[in-house]
C-alpha cells in the first residue's frame, strides 16, 4: 500500500496535500483498493462550504457506494472534472490524476486533526 510521506490523512481514508491556503483532497490507495473498480464519482459543487467530517460526495465501485468526507473545513475551490468521464483514474493514480477536489481553507480548518503518514500506516495495518 502506497502512503506518500508528503501528505496528511484522515481516519476516513482521505488524503490531503496542503499548499498555502489550499488543500487538494482525494481518497487513499488503501481506500481505492478496498472499493475495487471505481465506476462513478459524485463530485462536490464549486463554491460549497464544507466543515471537517461533512459530506463531499460519493464514489461508486463495482462493490459498493462510499461517501467521501471533508478532511478539513473550507470552501470547494476546484473539482477534478476529468473524473466524470474517467472515474477509474482514482484506481490508477489516487495521489495524482485521481484527486477529487481542492478546498480554500477556512481559518481553523482542522489541519492539526489530520494523521501523519506513520499514524495512517498504523491505522491501516490491522
pLDDT digits (tens, 9 = 90+) for 3-49: 999 999 999 999 999 999 999 999 999 999 999 999 999 999 999 99
Nearest to 25 by CA among 83, 85, 107, 65: 83
CA atoms within 13 A on the CB side of 82: 8
Cα separation, 30 vs 124, in Å, equals 8
% the chain with pLDDT above 70 = 99
Candidate CATH numbers 3.30.160.270, 3.40.50.970, 3.40.50.300, 2.40.50.100; the one for domain 8-109:
2.40.50.100
- Average model confidence (pLDDT) for the chain? 95
Q: 43, 84 in Cβ contact below 8 A?
A: yes
Cα separation, 1 vs 45, in Å, equals 30
Q: What is the pLDDT of residue 73?
A: 95
Indicate the pTM of the whole model. 0.93
Q: 82, 97 in Cβ contact below 8 A?
A: yes
DSSP3 helix / strand / coil % (the chain, rounded to 5): 20, 35, 45
Amino acid at each position: 500500500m502506497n502512503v506518500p510521506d508528503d501528505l496528511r490523512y484522515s481516519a476516513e481514508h482521505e488524503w490531503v496535500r496542503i499548499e498555502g491556503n489550499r488543500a487538494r483532497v482525494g481518497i487513499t490507495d488503501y481506500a481505492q483498493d478496498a472499493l475495487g473498480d471505481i465506476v462513478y464519482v459524485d463530485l462536490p459543487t464549486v463554491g460549497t462550504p464544507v466543515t471537517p467530517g461533512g459530506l463531499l460526495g460519493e464514489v461508486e465501485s463495482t462493490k459498493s457506494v462510499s461517501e467521501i468526507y471533508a478532511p478539513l473545513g473550507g470552501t470547494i475551490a476546484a473539482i477534478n472534472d476529468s473524473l466524470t468521464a474517467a472515474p477509474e483514474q482514482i484506481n490508477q493514480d489516487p495521489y495524482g490524476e485521481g484527486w477529487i477536489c481542492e478546498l480554500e481553507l477556512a481559518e481553523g480548518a482542522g489541519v492539526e486533526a489530520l494523521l501523519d503518514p506513520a499514524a495512517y500506516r498504523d491505522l491501516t495495518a490491522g
